[in-house]
């Protein structure tokens, strides 16, 4: 499990006013809390936070913090708030972690291989993109691989068929579907009904074919008024 150091600073003043002052300095207001730990108001540099979460473990990265007046604290990002437009962090919630106690985390699913069903024209449907598991903080996997190579059209892989890393347990007892291969949907051809009152296709009128022995009609004379 990846661990990265994160520099944090103590901040003064709780509430919206204090948070605005921190953001004006280019930092993100946050709080550290957890079992046996008093709430600690902190601020984090936006660049440092983005760098810490750029690891392969993403949101599940273990953070080693040197907190002034509190010493070393191991924590994880538990929750956050972000700007609706820029998606930049506006507040961070860190929860302390005991490396000897199991925790709940969500792990992304990584599909491996190309299924037989897809090769035959089927469609792969990923029903679950993440799994909620319980494990020690040092055992958190980056992802859970699901090999779909043998799946044919109409077949699925369920929870009980997954191969989990050592020390990792899925919380749910239900044997839910994780991934399936389904037949492609047939395209329906819709024929539009004629609209009442719409103009019909004009009838093509061709000149009468002359009977053998008759002279063909003079096209120049057609349509001219007879002289009296």
Listed residues 59, 78, 97: the one ending a domain? 97
What residue numbers bound the domain in which 130 lies? Answer: 104-182
- Please determine, for residue 115, whether its predicted confidence score (pLDDT) is greater than 90: yes
Whether 56 and 71 share a structural domain: yes
Other C-beta atoms lying within 10 Å of the C-beta of residue 135 = 20
* Global pTM exceeds 0.75: no
Q: What is the CA radius of gyration of the chain?
A: 35
Residues 45, 75: Cα–Cα separation, whole Å: 17
Domain-located, residue 176: yes
- Please determine, for residue 3, whether its predicted confidence score (pLDDT) is greater than 80: yes
Residues 71, 129: Cα–Cα separation, whole Å: 37
Whether 53 and 93 share a structural domain: yes
- Work out the angle at residue 64's Cα, subtended by the Cα atoms of residues 63 and 68, and round it to the nearest 5 degrees: 125
Listed residues 49, 64, 97: the one ending a domain? 97
Domain-located, residue 201: no
DSSP of 109-169: EEEES--HHHHTT-EEEES-SEEEEEE-GGG--S-EEEE-TT--TT-EEEGGG--PPTT-E
Other C-beta atoms lying within 10 Å of the C-beta of residue 36 = 6
Whether 80 and 11 share a structural domain: yes
Mean pLDDT of 128-154: 95
At residue 88 the predicted structure's pLDDT band, cuts being 50, 70 and 90, is: confident
Domain-located, residue 164: yes
Domain-located, residue 67: yes
Q: State pLDDT tens for residues 37-72.
A: 889 999 999 899 999 988 888 889 999 998 988 999
Domain-located, residue 46: yes
Q: Give the residue among 126, 132, 210, 211 at the shortest CA–CA distance from 171.
A: 132
Q: State pLDDT tens for residues 13-42.
A: 677 777 888 888 889 999 999 988 889 999
């Amino acid at each position: 499990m990846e661990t990265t150091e994160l520099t944090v600073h103590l901040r003064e003043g709780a509430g919206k006013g204090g948070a605005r002052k921190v953001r004006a300095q280019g930092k993100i207001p946050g709080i550290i809390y957890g079992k046996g730990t008093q709430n600690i108001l902190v601020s984090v540099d936006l660049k440092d936070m983005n760098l810490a979460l750029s690891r392969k473990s993403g949101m599940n990265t273990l953070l080693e913090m040197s907190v002034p007046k509190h010493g070393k604290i191991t924590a994880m990002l538990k929750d956050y708030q972000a700007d609706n437009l820029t998606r930049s962090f506006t507040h961070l919630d860190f929860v302390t972690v005991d490396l000897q106690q199991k925790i709940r985390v969500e792990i992304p699913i990584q599909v491996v291989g190309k299924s037989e069903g897809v090769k035959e024209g089927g469609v792969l449907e990923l029903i679950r993109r993440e799994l909620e598991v319980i494990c020690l903080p040092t055992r958190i996997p980056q992802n859970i691989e699901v090999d779909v190579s043998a799946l044919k059209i109409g077949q699925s892989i369920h929870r009980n068929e997954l191969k989990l890393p050592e020390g990792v347990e899925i919380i749910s007892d239900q044997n839910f579907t994780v991934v399936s291969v389904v037949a492609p949907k047939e395209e329906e051809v819709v024929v539009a009904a004629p609209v009442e009152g719409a103009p019909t296709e004009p009838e093509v009128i061709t000149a009468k074919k002359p009977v053998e022995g008759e002279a063909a009609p003079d096209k120049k004379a057609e349509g001219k008024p007879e002289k009296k």
